[in-house]
Amino acid sequence: MPRKKTKSLVRDIAPDRIYNSIQVTKLINRIMLDGKKQIAERLVYNGMQKAADKLKVQNPIEVFEQAFKNIQPHVETRSRRVGGANYQIPFEVKGQRQQHLTTMWFVAAVRARSGMGTDERIALELIDAYNNTGNAVKKREDTHKMADANRAFAHFART
């Protein structure tokens, strides 16, 4: 007898109020601490506006989208045990996982900065990511280098 199919665990997330973007909502939810969503929204919106003002761009969502496109990973490595040895095998990153890694790396880079308000840190990290610099972009480049260095083990992914 076949097993039962499991329900999909992907939740529907409503787009944010101002930019109507699901990705902005996900960022707000990651920035949020202790359920204080209004504070997280204010921080993200202010950070996006400050970044757009400093870059002299009319629409803050353009800065946000370009910055996140620059952070997005295309390949990552996963550990796999083959014949008693562990190999880092490169895999392509798709869809939901790509967005998740992008958001997590961005939030980690924002929290690693110090000496200013969170909205200012968000603005500076958005500017850095927009210009292809900063900690989140460095994390993506390190991940890509690791995958490139382990390209020789890619044939283990197919077994």
User: Could you read off the pLDDT of 62-83 as tens digits, one per residue?
Assistant: 999 999 999 999 998 888 888 8
The residue range of the domain holding 86 is: 22-158
- CA dihedral sign, ordered 111, 72, 138, 158: positive
* In-domain check, residue 14: no
Cβ distance 135 to 112 under 8 Å?
A: yes
Number of domains in the chain: 1
Report, as an integer, the average pLDDT of 109-137.
94
Q: How far apart are CA 106 and CA 108, in angstroms?
A: 5
Query: To the nearest whole number, what is the mean pLDDT of the chain?
Result: 90
Report, as an integer, the average pLDDT of 2-29.
88
* In-domain check, residue 9: no
Q: How far apart are CA 148 and CA 47, in angstroms?
A: 34
CATH number at residue 78: 1.10.455.10
Q: Both tokens of residue 26? A: 């996900």
* Best CA proximity match to 143, nearest among 88, 68, 86: 88
3-class secondary structure, 74? coil
Q: Which residues pair with 82 in a beta bridge?
A: 85
* In-domain check, residue 112: yes
pLDDT, residue 158, reads: 67
* In-domain check, residue 17: no
* In-domain check, residue 64: yes
* In-domain check, residue 57: yes
Number of neighbours of residue 16 by Cβ within 10 angstroms: 20
* In-domain check, residue 4: no
Local structure of residue 89 (DSSP, 8 states): E
* Best CA proximity match to 67, nearest among 27, 113, 33, 20: 27
* In-domain check, residue 8: no
